[in-house]
Amino acid sequence: MRKKILVTGGAGFLGSHLCERLLNEDNEVFCLDNYFTGQKQNIIHLLNNPFFELIRHDITMPFYIEVDEVYNLACPASPIHYQYNAIKTIKTSVMGSINMLGLAKRIKAKILQASTSEVYGDPQIHPQTEDYWGHVNPIGLRACYDEGKRCAESLFINYHRDNKVRIKILRIFNTYGPRMHPNDGRVISNFIVQALKGEDITIYGDGTQSRSFCYVDDLIDGMITFMNSGDDFLGPVNMGNPNEFTILELAEKVIQLTASKSKLIFKPLPSDDPIQRQPDITLAKKELNWIPEIQLEDGLIKTIDFFKTIIK
Ligand code: NAD
Ligand code: UDP
């Protein structure tokens, strides 16, 4: 039986890959987006599929549809975009979650929240396990995103406790791949675009801060596996690739893979920029038998190939 599935933020980077995969698995997909950071270009190849429907809507407003599952991905994810209109970002996470949870309650759908490693803030334990409560500055520049996502988690668990809504909370760590927005300011897209254009590669701070990068296909596998898991396993569960790299190492790898002549330049570190971030994925392994399989170099090659097609 074909499931009916709503994907909010479906025209974004992760959402478009999710819609594509769900359609390939013979589901009917409703892609909802307000196109703040998403683009029709990301899902244009799906428009001829009769089981794909596009809906322009903003999740801060109520919405009604009858579906079996909701993946709630709507929210700008890159610091430049979520800080552009901080209050709107909070509304999207908080009012958007209330609207989508209210919908899930009414139609008895299962609902998954795309949460984030940012709920751990600038973490004081390393790697981060799901039972760590985090170290977030509630009035910093990242707070609109971090606290919005923390409040969303709280809404999800309370709709479950009080209203028996079937929820899933997924804490996503840095994910990259084709269809990242070239101007979203995130490190992988910035470095690849700069390298391909032969511009200076901008290292913020001294480049010793580290991140672990997960290729989009691995993340989407995990997200769908989590949604399809038993109702008793609510999460929160971390997903990301635990292999850690410094930002300098990443820059060198991008230069090597693009055979670029770009030079490194150093710029000030943005405020509240976490020093280290690495997921502990023991829980995802145990409960979902999920581990990422694509290594950084292979994922970067695919991502570089994508950026070559859009950079003139
Ligand atoms: P993205 O910006 O490409 O996608 C977000 C999508 O949501 C866009 O299409 C945007 O237009 C849409 N949107 C934003 N506000 C909306 C609103 N009010 N109503 C309707 N649509 C709205 O970002 P992404 O990287 O694809 O991230 C998707 C989700 O995953 C986000 O919730 C993000 O917080 C989460 N996440 C992503 C990462 C990552 O590394 N990519 C890491 C952690 C969490
Ligand atoms: N970064 C950088 N140069 C850039 C963009 C980002 O050095 O052009 C750094 C940024 O300061 C951070 C890391 O790369 O330490 C990851 O940044 P991103 O915005 O991709 O993700 P997040 O900080 O949310 O993990």
Domains identified in the chain and CATH numbers: 4-176+215-239 (3.40.50.720), 187-211+243-278+293-310 (3.90.25.10)
Record the tokens describing residue 80, joined without a space.
């430049």
Instruction: Please report which helix (H) or strand (E) contains residue 122, including its range.
Output: none
Give the number of whichever ligand sits closest to the CA of residue 95.
1
Give the number of whichever ligand sits closest to the CA of residue 211.
2
* CA-wise closest residue to 15 among 97, 101, 73, 76: 73
- pLDDT at res. 270: 86
Separation CA 175–CA 51 (nearest Å): 27
- Among residues 145, 159, 176, 215, which one is catalytic? 145
Q: What residue's CA is closest to ligand 1, atom 35?
A: 114
Separation CA 170–CA 115 (nearest Å): 5
Q: What is the pTM of this model?
A: 0.96
Give the number of whichever ligand sits closest to the CA of residue 146.
1
CB 101 within 8 A of CB 111: yes
For residue 277, give the ligand 2 atom closest to its CA.
25
Our answer on whether the CB atom of 247 is closer than 6 Å to any ligand 2 atom is yes
- pLDDT at res. 277: 84
Q: Is the peptide bond before 236 cis (omega within 30 degrees of 0)?
A: yes
Write out the chain's pLDDT in tens, 312 residues: 899 999 999 999 999 999 999 999 999 999 999 999 999 999 999 999 999 999 999 999 999 999 999 999 999 999 999 999 999 999 999 999 999 999 999 999 999 999 999 999 988 998 999 999 999 999 999 999 999 999 999 999 999 999 999 999 999 999 999 999 998 889 999 999 999 999 999 999 999 999 999 999 999 999 999 999 999 999 999 999 999 999 999 999 999 999 999 999 999 998 778 888 889 999 999 999 999 999 999 999 999 999 999 986
- pLDDT at res. 189: 95
Separation CA 113–CA 167 (nearest Å): 8
Q: What residue's CA is closest to ligand 2, atom 12?
A: 273
Our answer on whether the CB atom of 203 is closer than 6 Å to any ligand 2 atom is yes
Q: At CB < 8 A and 24+ separation, what contacts does 104-109 make?
A: 104/70, 104/159, 104/165, 104/166, 104/167, 105/159, 105/163, 105/165, 106/64, 107/65, 107/66, 107/67, 109/6, 109/67, 109/68, 109/69, 109/70, 109/166
Residue 145 falls in the annotated catalytic set: yes
Across 151-187, b (16+ Cβ under 10 Å) vs e yields ebbebbbebbeeeebbbbbbbbbbbbbbbbbeebebb
Q: Which segments of the chain does DSSP mark as H helices, in order?
A: 13-24, 79-84, 86-107, 143-163, 187-197, 216-227, 247-258, 282-288, 296-310
* CA-wise closest residue to 138 among 124, 121, 123, 158: 121
Number of residues that make up the chain? 312
- Between the CA of 260 and the centroid of ligand 1 the distance, in Å, is 30
- Between the CA of 161 and the centroid of ligand 2 the distance, in Å, is 36
Record the tokens describing residue 177, joined without a space.
């791949």
* CA-wise closest residue to 151 among 115, 177, 127: 115
Separation CA 282–CA 289 (nearest Å): 9
* Pocket residue to mutate for ligand 2, from 196, 211, 244, most atoms within 8 A of Cβ: 211
Q: Which segments of 108-186 does DSSP mark as H helices, in order?
A: 143-163
Our answer on whether the CB atom of 187 is closer than 6 Å to any ligand 2 atom is yes
Q: What residue's CA is closest to ligand 2, atom 11?
A: 204
Q: What residue's CA is closest to ligand 2, atom 25?
A: 174
- pLDDT at res. 123: 87
Residue entry with tokens 């299962």: 110
Separation CA 29–CA 22 (nearest Å): 7
Q: What residue's CA is closest to ligand 1, atom 37?
A: 77
Record the tokens describing residue 91, joined without a space.
């509304």
For residue 207, give the ligand 2 atom closest to its CA.
7
- pLDDT at res. 32: 98
- Between the CA of 53 and the centroid of ligand 2 the distance, in Å, is 34
- Between the CA of 304 and the centroid of ligand 1 the distance, in Å, is 21
